[in-house]
Amino acid sequence: MSQIVECVPNFSEGQSKEIIDAIASAVAQTPGCQLLDVDPGPSTNRTVYTFVGSPMAVIEGALNMARVARSLIDMRIHKGEHPRMGALDVCPFIPISGVTMEDCNQCAEEFGRRLGEELQVPVYLYGYSAREEKRQKLPSIRAGEYEGIEAKVVSLDWKPDFGPAKFVPMWGATATGARKFLIAMNINVLGTKEQAHRIALNVREQGRGPEKPGRLKSVQAIGWWLDEYNLAQVSMNLTDIDETPMHVAFEECLKDSKEMNVALCGAQLVGLVPLKAILEAAEYYIERDNLFIVEESQKVRLAINRLGLSSLEPFNPREKIIEYMIDADADGPLASMSLKSFIINVGARSSAPGGGSVSAAIGAMGAALGTMVGWMSYGNKKFEAIDSTMRKLIPPLRQAMHDLIPLIDADTAAFAAYMSAMKMPKSNEEETAIRDESMKSAMRGAIAVPMNVAMSVNACWDTMKEMARYGNVQCKSDLQVGAKAMELAVWGAYYNVMINLPSVTDQAYKDKATEDIKDFLHVAQEGAKEVLEIVADRKE
């Protein structure tokens, strides 16, 4: 898995296009960094940048941005609605894939050290990187804002973690640290700034103080006014979306607005959002409203609609959802091919893609046929009595279809890994030992892929039998082809495992794998047989 860290630096400039573009250009030109989003706010006078890259790349990207900002942003003349204490106000590092929170903590430590030394500005560590409990939360460090930082940096209690303990008028101070994915979500209020702030005080974790805490954990919030939209907002930072998801925050604000007879009109997301958060919101509204939606794109549309994410400007999922923007998350080369190109590649003078990839593709097609029969049975007035049954049967078959698609490329990748291990040097004992261990690991990977193909298919037989009993009888041939395709996928997985097992030296592993794959083949053969028998007994 690629190592991907997200960095979301917030700079105190949201009005000058020249400065905003210059800072963006600094990271866009940094090798290994991919700039995903630039989100300026004129009223807040703040721009949130989002970019990703390897741990070392994001450190360099953030430093390049800071170097540009050092000469272009002057905090002595800065005014804006958003709380701030420095030109680069905050620079968090967030784990996305292949990295841990500790990896991101190391990014923050290295970035903070170099920022403090090179630009001679005070830097504080916050979040998971904080060295003191009172510095864990950003509002604690930022208390007093820029206007109070002159006295703060020279006090013993607030000595910076990096850089000089002195006031730098043009810059102020910067906070950096590792944290979970934070969602900046602003709820639009058709009322006054004071009314929006009352809602914020009710929902945010700190509430109105220790004696009157708010209702939502891991939520920071204030109310403010946006001149450019002529409305107020409850501006929230959701610092732990596992604890307080987006839809919970939105619904709680809605509850308060109704009690106050104030209208809400959707929400605005600043920066990017993880797909998980959007889908969780969709699932909440699907369950609440008793809807049946399984396609990811439709779930995304539902969440956008229910949360009103396009109320101020169009919410384009391809530009706002982080997984959709990271190139590394695209389908593999084989799964992305046209069917014609895939077949031609299989028929080329090469051992890969071979039977393993074809087995995964055939299994996906079999599950797809079962899914299709479900859709041809659901929502049809003629079969209205079985709608509730189809709601249960379509999702697992559709999930198996999606689970099998990546295994098309995984099988070929596993074969390539084994061939690479075979080519490793073996001129001495140490090299030979490393080569042998790499070959063992690669061989287990090559066996694991067809095992996963078999397990993904076999998880569907009970569902396929129910589909055969209740699905649209006009689609019986599709179910027959689907059942045989799924059986063939497991049959292919069986032979792919069996041809690789002789190369395994661990006898216990070999015995267990042999027993498992034989059982998987038996289950598939019996499952397909039962599906075909059920379909054969049904009348037109």
| 82, 161, 247, 409: the active-site residue | 82
For 11, list phi and psi in degrees, rounded to 5.
Answer: -105, 145
Q: How far apart are CA 504 and CA 440, in angstroms?
A: 7
Is residue 531 within 8 Å of 468, Cβ to Cβ? yes
Q: Is 522 a catalytic residue?
A: no
Name the 3-class secondary structure at 352: coil
Q: Is 537 a catalytic residue?
A: no
Q: 3-state SS of 129-152?
A: HCCCHHHCCHHHHHCCHHHHHHHH
Q: How far apart are CA 359 and CA 412, in angstroms?
A: 12
Q: What angle do CA 442, 443, 447 make, to 5 degrees?
A: 120
Question: Which pair of structure tokens corresponds to residue 537?
Answer: 């007994």
Q: What angle do CA 519, 524, 530 make, to 5 degrees?
A: 125
Q: How far apart are CA 377 and CA 492, in angstroms?
A: 30
Q: How far apart are CA 11 and CA 111, in angstroms?
A: 16
Query: How many beta carbons lie within 10 A of that of residue 30, not counting itself?
Result: 21
- Taking alpha carbons only, the member of 52, 51, 30 closest to residue 39 is 51
Question: Which pair of structure tokens corresponds to residue 278?
Answer: 């959007």
Q: How far apart are CA 229 and CA 231, in angstroms?
A: 6
Question: Which pair of structure tokens corresponds to residue 194?
Answer: 């004071």
Which H/E stretch holds residue 397? helix 387-422
| 39, 89, 161, 411: the active-site residue | 411
Task: Give the residue numbers marked as catalytic.
Answer: 82, 411
